[in-house]
């Protein structure tokens, strides 16, 4: 069925007066929205201290304080489109960032369990509100080459943000677990950058080829089977890749090749991978073209399948770093496909659906691998990582089919 086409009008003034692709400050403002891409990393170190403080609360309920923002993200993502229609893109981003900042720091001042639980959930809602726009701004305002570059840089900015937040949190936690939550005051930085460098008038501007036009949609946002298919692929990629974060540390300890500190050091290098892959994405996407996702899915399959069989920490480190690098290429490559699948005027809705898929994949991962272990009668961490590699191979083969079926450019 044909998608209803929105009405378009040229941007006021002669072409070239305001060139989006040559505005580094605009790119800086938009990329700053992605500064906080992880909902839990910065404060995950507070879990042991919070367990002692809330000694009358069950361990599972204390851990819920760390993961509850993910549920909030799902809710925020659902309402993001409605809020954007009401306030416009710019003010929606600022509102979401402000919501996350305010509720993010509440545990530093209010110490009751219910207050912290609500604040953590609302922190996630704020993230869900602004995160879809961090993608749609890029896909709407920049032509393909610049878009691919910025989508790669978006991953790098998120990795850099995680590193900075972890560093600051490491200092604050030495004072108390309460003060650790002051780290979210850092969200004032993207609020200021978006306020200064992302003009409100770009709320309805899109780029078509090398032309900048104003888009006035006369239809409600819609979706299609292609978007749903892409969301499912995102879900599966995050589900299978989670085997590394969930199972690798246990595999290292159980096989006696290292301890938990060894695993922590290995994971620390993954941030560097995300930064490097984000910078390299544009060139790799040009070289690999429509087979970008297939190549890096297949490479991920190989290195994950090899992980359970190595007993060398240096070799294991290399394998994990290759997997992390591949993941840093796969995600922006899949994100770039949103332009091909999304109906006109529906990028915010498309991004929201994709983010919901990503979060469901992350939330379902522990239960998926638990069920898989029971199904095959072997729940060993190494076995789960091996099977994740097999599943990535299946994703790679599926991708060959889908790029030919849908004629995807990347």
- pLDDT tens digits for 137-195? 998 888 877 888 899 899 888 888 888 887 888 788 888 888 989 999 999 999 999 99
Residues 295-311: pLDDT tens digits? 999 999 999 999 999 99
The answer to whether position 208 is within a domain reads: yes
The answer to whether position 2 is within a domain reads: no
User: Rounded CA gap, 40 and 26, in Å?
Assistant: 28
- Structural domain range at position 259: 225-406
Quick one: pLDDT at residue 8? 37
- CA–CA distance from 324 to each of 65, 100, 238, 333 (Å)? 27, 28, 12, 14
User: Rounded CA gap, 222 and 213, in Å?
Assistant: 21
Are residues 198 and 236 located together in one domain of the fold?
no
Report which of residues 120 and 362 the model is more confident about: 120
Final residue belonging to a domain, choices 162, 183, 216? 216
Are residues 75 and 158 located together in one domain of the fold?
yes
Residues 18-71: pLDDT tens digits? 455 567 899 999 999 988 876 566 787 777 788 888 888 887 788 788 778 888
**Nearest one of 351, 384, 391, 361 to 137, comparing CA atoms:** 351
The answer to whether position 245 is within a domain reads: yes
Are residues 264 and 347 located together in one domain of the fold?
yes
Helices within 289-346 (DSSP H only): 292-306, 313-336, 338-341
User: Rounded CA gap, 279 and 275, in Å?
Assistant: 6
Quick one: pLDDT at residue 209? 61
**Where residue 278 falls among pLDDT bands split at 50, 70, 90?**
confident
Are residues 241 and 194 located together in one domain of the fold?
no
The answer to whether position 1 is within a domain reads: no
Number of C-beta neighbours around residue 255 at 10 A: 14
Quick one: pLDDT at residue 16? 39
Quick one: pLDDT at residue 97? 96
The first and second tokens of residue 280, run together, are 């390299």
Percent of residues, the chain, with pLDDT higher than 90:
45
Are residues 305 and 163 located together in one domain of the fold?
no
Quick one: pLDDT at residue 6? 39
Are residues 141 and 203 located together in one domain of the fold?
yes
* Number of structural domains found in the chain: 2
Final residue belonging to a domain, choices 216, 233, 267? 216
Are residues 130 and 233 located together in one domain of the fold?
no
**Where residue 236 falls among pLDDT bands split at 50, 70, 90?**
very high
Please give the average per-residue pLDDT across 264-288, as a whole number.
Answer: 84
The three-state secondary structure class of 380 is: coil
Please give the average per-residue pLDDT across 225-240, as a whole number.
Answer: 95
Quick one: pLDDT at residue 288? 93
pTM: 0.79
The answer to whether position 203 is within a domain reads: yes
Are residues 196 and 286 located together in one domain of the fold?
no
Quick one: pLDDT at residue 376? 94
Are residues 153 and 229 located together in one domain of the fold?
no
262 pLDDT above the threshold of 50: yes
Report which of residues 199 and 42 the model is more confident about: 199
Question: Angle at the Cα of 32 (from 31 to 33), degrees rounded to 5?
Answer: 90
13 pLDDT above the threshold of 70: no
Residues 209-229: pLDDT tens digits? 666 666 655 567 789 999 999
**Nearest one of 399, 174, 406 to 297, comparing CA atoms:** 399
Are residues 37 and 117 located together in one domain of the fold?
yes
Contact present, 244 and 301 (Cβ < 8 Å)? no
323 pLDDT above the threshold of 90: yes
Range of weakest confidence among 3-12, 301-310, 351-360: 3-12
The answer to whether position 297 is within a domain reads: yes
User: Rounded CA gap, 328 and 198, in Å?
Assistant: 26
For the domain that residue 305 is a member of, what is the CATH number?
1.20.1250.20
Quick one: pLDDT at residue 213? 67
Give the position of tokens 């809330």: 54
Are residues 269 and 212 located together in one domain of the fold?
no
Final residue belonging to a domain, choices 191, 216, 241? 216
- CA–CA distance from 216 to each of 5, 80, 129, 280 (Å)? 10, 19, 22, 35
- Label residue 218 exposed, middle or buried (CB < 10 Å: 0-12, 13-18, 19+): exposed
The first and second tokens of residue 335, run together, are 């994100």
Contact present, 326 and 292 (Cβ < 8 Å)? no
Range of weakest confidence among 22-31, 39-48, 366-375, 388-397: 39-48
* Residue 212 dihedral angles phi and psi, to the nearest 5°: -100, 120
Are residues 207 and 296 located together in one domain of the fold?
no
Give the position of tokens 């500064």: 35
């Amino acid at each position: 069925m044909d998608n209803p086409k929105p009405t378009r009008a040229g941007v006021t003034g002669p072409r070239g007066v305001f060139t989006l692709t040559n505005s580094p400050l605009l790119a800086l403002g938009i990329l700053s929205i992605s500064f906080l891409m992880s909902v839990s990393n910065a404060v995950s170190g507070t879990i042991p201290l919070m367990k002692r403080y809330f000694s009358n609360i069950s361990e599972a309920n204390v851990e819920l304080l760390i993961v509850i923002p993910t549920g909030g993200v799902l809710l925020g993502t659902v309402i993001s489109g409605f809020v954007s229609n009401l306030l416009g893109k710019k003010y929606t981003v600022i509102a979401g960032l402000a919501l996350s900042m305010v509720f993010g720091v509440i545990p530093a001042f209010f110490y009751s369990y219910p207050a912290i639980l609500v604040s953590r959930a609302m922190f996630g809602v704020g993230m869900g509100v602004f995160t879809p726009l961090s993608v749609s701004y890029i896909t709407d305002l920049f032509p393909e080459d610049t878009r691919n570059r910025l989508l790669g840089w978006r991953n790098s900015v998120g990795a850099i943000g995680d590193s900075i937040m972890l560093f600051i949190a490491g200092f604050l936690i030495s004072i108390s677990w309460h003060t650790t939550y002051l780290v979210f005051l850092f969200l004032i930085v993207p609020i200021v950058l978006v306020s200064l460098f992302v003009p409100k008038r770009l709320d309805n501007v899109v780029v078509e080829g090398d032309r900048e036009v104003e888009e006035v949609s006369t239809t409600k946002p819609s979706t299609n089977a292609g978007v749903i298919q892409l969301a499912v692929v995102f879900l599966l990629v995050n589900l299978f890749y989670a085997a590394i974060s969930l199972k690798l540390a246990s595999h290292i300890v159980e096989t006696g090749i290292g301890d938990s500190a060894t695993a922590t050091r290995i994971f620390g290098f993954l941030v560097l991978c995300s930064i490097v892959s984000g910078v390299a994405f544009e060139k790799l996407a040009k070289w690999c073209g429509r087979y970008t996702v297939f190549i890096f899915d297949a490479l991920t399959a190989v290195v994950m399948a090899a992980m359970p069989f190595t007993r060398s920490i240096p070799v294991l480190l290399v394998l994990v770093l290759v997997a992390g690098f591949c993941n840093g290429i796969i995600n922006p490559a899949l994100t770039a496909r949103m332009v091909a699948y999304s109906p006109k005027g529906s990028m915010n809705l498309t991004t929201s659906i994709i983010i919901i898929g990503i979060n469901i994949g992350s939330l379902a991962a522990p239960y998926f691998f638990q069920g898989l272990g029971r199904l095959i009668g072997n729940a060993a961490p190494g076995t789960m990582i091996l099977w994740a590699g097999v599943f990535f191979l299946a994703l790679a083969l599926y991708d060959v089919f889908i790029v030919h079926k849908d004629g995807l450019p990347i």
